[in-house]
Structure 1
């Protein structure tokens, strides 16, 4: 089993995690905007 604490693996893991958290953050914001838009459409 490879050693996951080497510098290159940690750099790759950190980049992957940053990409994932960025995707989740923007996905949440977009979902909230779409939800508000749909609720306003239904309410009018």
Structure 2
């Protein structure tokens, strides 16, 4: 079995996926806050 050597794996795809996940999560959080503000202002 091969020895594991820290830092040799190519992680560019994982980094792009994580960055995309963080970006989408941020957009969803901002949208949710805006919807809550809209509902608080225009609640009848």
Query: Normalised by the shorter chain, which TM-score bucket?
Result: 0.7 to 0.9
RMSD: 1.6
Identify the structure with the greater helix proportion: 1
The one of the two structures with greater contact order (alpha-carbon pairs below 8 A, sep at least 6) is 1
Gaps of 5+ in 1: none
The normalised TM-score by structure 1 is 0.73
Equivalent pairs, count: 38
The gaps in structure 2 that reach 5 residues or longer are 1-7
Give the TM-score taking structure 2 as reference length. Answer: 0.73
